[in-house]
Amino acid sequence: MFALVVNVLFLAVEVVGGFAFGSLALLADAAHMATDIVVLAIAYAALRIARRPPTDHHTYGFARWEVLVAQANGLLLFASAVVVSFEAIRRLGNPPDVVASGVVVIGVIGLLVNIASAAALYRHAHHSLNVRGAFWHLVSDALGSIGVIVAGVGIALFGADWLDPAMSIAISVLVAAAAWQLLRDAGRVLLETVPVGLDVGAVRDALGGARGVEAVHHLHLWTMGSEQAALSAHVVLTGPLSLHEAQLRAGALKEMLAADFGIDHATLEVECHACVEDDAHEHAHHN
């Protein structure tokens, strides 16, 4: 909430300063700041929605709201980068007069605001794709503020008016890079790819090498929400075992998965022999 309020206040300062001092770099940074505000507001709302318990219609809960919002944020970032780049290219041939001192002052204030806002989100950024997206918005905006400062100093010392649109393009490249990273990470979750940092082979070997496990098949790894790894697998246990004994072994395997791999959501189907379709597949493979 702190980051949201501070960014709203500074957005007004950047817009007024951009028009007053004739700086496209400031307006480019203001456009990015506007996306920051939208991102922070939606991130806050998405976090609250994601914490809702599962329902009969949403049995997995609402964790993927964060991922959908992260994708929307990425698209918004790309759109702002394209708009600013077109305007900057148009201005390169005929750069307007810029009040350098005002640009530098607002750039320094913007840098401080973005650093403070990013620091406020940093401790949550490792646990949520959505919050991480908002964090990288602020980091790229801080880099944009540095670009604004460089442009202002260059204009003041050397009369290099072309630095203002040039820095606007540089800021847009940073924004596009952040957008691509966000879209890539969100896409991985929606496509149910293996979570980053987990090795399917290592997980399979750990399950297959556990005490009382004869074989492992139908192993799937994906991400429930933005960060919660999930697993399902068929596990063939050495027996004979009672239902109670099989349940105890499955419980021990889940504890191992949580402790060694951080997989807290695991569904294991325990069997006394491999599935019929797996035997048929294996026979067809050898033939």
Give the pLDDT band (50/70/90) at residue 191.
Answer: confident
List the strands of the sheet with 229-237, edge to edge.
Answer: 213-223, 229-237, 265-271
Residues 6+ apart with CB under 8 A from 12: none
Domain CATH number, residue 277: 3.30.70.1350
Per residue in 165-179, pLDDT (tens digit) is 888 788 788 778 877
pLDDT above 90: residue 205: yes
In a domain, 28, yes or no: yes
Q: What are the C-alpha distances in Å from 185 to residues 40, 137, 156, 180, 223? A: 18, 14, 41, 9, 11
- Give pTM, 2 decimals: 0.67
Same domain flag for 206 and 166: no
What is the pLDDT of the chain when averaged over all its residues?
A: 79
Which phi and psi (to 5°) does residue 236 adopt?
A: -90, 120
Same domain flag for 147 and 209: no
Same domain flag for 6 and 90: yes
Domain coverage including residue 17: 2-190
Q: What whole-number distance in Å separates Cα of residue 26 and Cα of residue 104?
A: 10
Q: Is the peptide bond before 240 cis (omega within 30 degrees of 0)?
A: yes
Within 126-269, residue ranges assigned H as helices are 129-158, 163-190, 200-208, 243-261
Same domain flag for 22 and 164: yes
pLDDT for res 200: 93
Coil/strand/helix, residue 53: coil
Domain end position, chosen among 124, 157, 190: 190
Domain end position, chosen among 190, 215, 235: 190
Q: Which amino acid is at 148?
A: V
What DSSP character marks residue 105?
Answer: H
pLDDT above 50: residue 81: yes
pLDDT for res 39: 67
Angle formed by the axes of helices 24-50 and 2-21, to 10°? 160
Task: Give me the number of domains the chain comprises.
Answer: 2
pLDDT for res 231: 93
Q: Which residues pair with 265 in a beta bridge?
A: 230
Same domain flag for 58 and 117: yes
- Tokens for 258, please give them: 């949580």
**Terminal alpha carbon distance of the chain:** 63
Comparing 208 with 139, which gets the higher pLDDT?
A: 208
- Tokens for 8, please give them: 């709203």
